[in-house]
Amino acid sequence: MNRRKLETDVDRIEKREFVAELSAVFAETSMVVVTRNAGLTVADVTDLRRKMRAAGVSFKVAKNRLALLALNGTRFDGLAPMLTGPTAIAWSKDPVAVAKAAVDFAKTNDKLVLVGGALGNQVLDASGLKALAELPSLDSLRAKLLGLLNAPATKVAGVVQAPAAQLARVFAAYADSKKGEAA
C-alpha cells in the first residue's frame, strides 16, 4: 500500500467520523446558527470561540459538503440552503444563549455575518436570530419563575407567623404583669 493511498483512506475515515459527530450534535441540540466568517483573522476566531464557550455554545468551521451530509435527515435539514461559501455553525441546548453569543459578536465585528439558523424545525433568518437574542436566557427565565413561585410562599409564611408573634408578645406582657403584681 503506498503512502498516498493510506493518506486518502485516513482522510475518508476522518471525514466519516466528523459527519457522524456532527450528526450526533444535531440530534442532541435545540438550536443551530449558521454564520459567514469570511475575513475573520485567527485572533478574531479565537476571541469568538472564547466568547461562545463562555456562553455555553459550541462553534465549528465545517466544510459545507460534510455539514450537508450531517444535516441530512435531521430536524435541521432546512439549513441546507444557507451552507454556501465560508460558513461556520454554532449550537447550544439553550437557544437564546447561542443566538445571543452570535449576535453580540457580530455587533462588534462586522466580518462575522449572521446567515440564519434553526430552532428545531423552525428556520430563522438573521432578523429572527436578532429577535431571539433579545429574549432573556433560559437560566434567567427559570430564576424569574422561581422568584414568582417563591414570593407568595414567603408572604403566606409571614402572614401565618404574624398572629403567632402577636400572641407571643401578648403572653409575654401578661407574664410580665403577673410578675409585677406578685412583687
pLDDT in tens, 112-133: 899 999 988 889 898 888 888 8
Closest C-alpha among 134, 113, 109 to residue 33: 113
Tens of pLDDT, residues 138-157 = 677 677 777 766 666 665 55
pLDDT at 182 over 80: no
The structural domains of the chain, with segments of one domain joined by +, span: 3-135, 136-183
- Give the pLDDT band of residue 171 (cuts 50, 70, 90): low
Please give the Cα distance from 41 to 47 (Å, whole number): 10
CATH fold of 3-135 reads Alpha-Beta Plaits (3.30.70)
The answer to whether the Cα torsion of 116, 117, 121, 122 is positive or negative is negative
Q: How far apart are CA 139 and CA 22, in angstroms?
A: 26
- List the beta strands (DSSP E) in the chain: 31-36, 58-61, 87-92, 113-119, 122-125
pTM (two decimals)? 0.69
